[in-house]
């Protein structure tokens, strides 16, 4: 069974501060994929980053960075120098490997990020 836990519900930060979102996952598979999605008020889920279970290298992409640690089953996400446009709900998601293409996504409950100008 797959499960994703995002402990914080709402996080408020002042503009230009960094914000880190925590994600803990559970899976019985050795091959899986982890994602972060952003959901603005318009409703659509916007893909941000993807990481597979065999690549623990942490990277930075613009103002986004992530910390993937298999030992603790965590996939944390950081927004550096937050901006008002970053205000949204952020979801961590897990997809187990599947022979037929894109497998279902299991989502956490999300983090509401509010950036105060």
State the Cα–Cα distance between residues 68 and 70, nearest whole angstrom: 6
* Least separation in angstroms between CB 104 and other proteins: 4
Q: Decide if 64 contacts 76 (C-beta within 8 A).
A: no
State the Cα–Cα distance between residues 83 and 114, nearest whole angstrom: 10
Q: Structure tokens of 19?
A: 């914000």
- Which residue number, 20 or 109, has a Cβ lying nearer to other proteins? 109
**Which residues would be at the binding site for other proteins (CB under 8 A)?**
4, 6, 33, 35, 37, 42-47, 50, 52, 91, 93, 95, 97-98, 100-110
- Which residue number, 21 or 106, has a Cβ lying nearer to other proteins? 106
- Which residue number, 4 or 79, has a Cβ lying nearer to other proteins? 4
State the Cα–Cα distance between residues 108 and 88, nearest whole angstrom: 15
* Least separation in angstroms between CB 6 and other proteins: 8
Q: What are the CB-based long-range contacts (under 8 Å, 24+) for 70-73? A: 72/24, 73/24, 73/25, 73/26
* Least separation in angstroms between CB 101 and other proteins: 4
- Which residue number, 46 or 81, has a Cβ lying nearer to other proteins? 46
* Least separation in angstroms between CB 17 and other proteins: 25
């Amino acid at each position: 069974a797959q499960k994703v836990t995002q402990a914080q519900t709402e996080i408020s930060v002042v503009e230009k501060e960094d914000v880190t979102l925590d994600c803990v996952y559970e899976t019985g598979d050795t091959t899986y994929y982890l994602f972060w999605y952003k959901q603005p008020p318009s409703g659509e889920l916007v893909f941000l980053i993807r990481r597979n279970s065999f690549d623990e290298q942490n990277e930075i992409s613009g103002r986004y960075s992530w910390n993937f640690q298999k030992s603790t089953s965590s996939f944390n996400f950081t927004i550096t120098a937050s901006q008002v446009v970053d205000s949204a709900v952020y979801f961590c998601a897990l997809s187990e490997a599947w022979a037929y293409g894109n497998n279902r996504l299991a989502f956490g409950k999300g983090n509401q990020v509010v950036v105060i100008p």
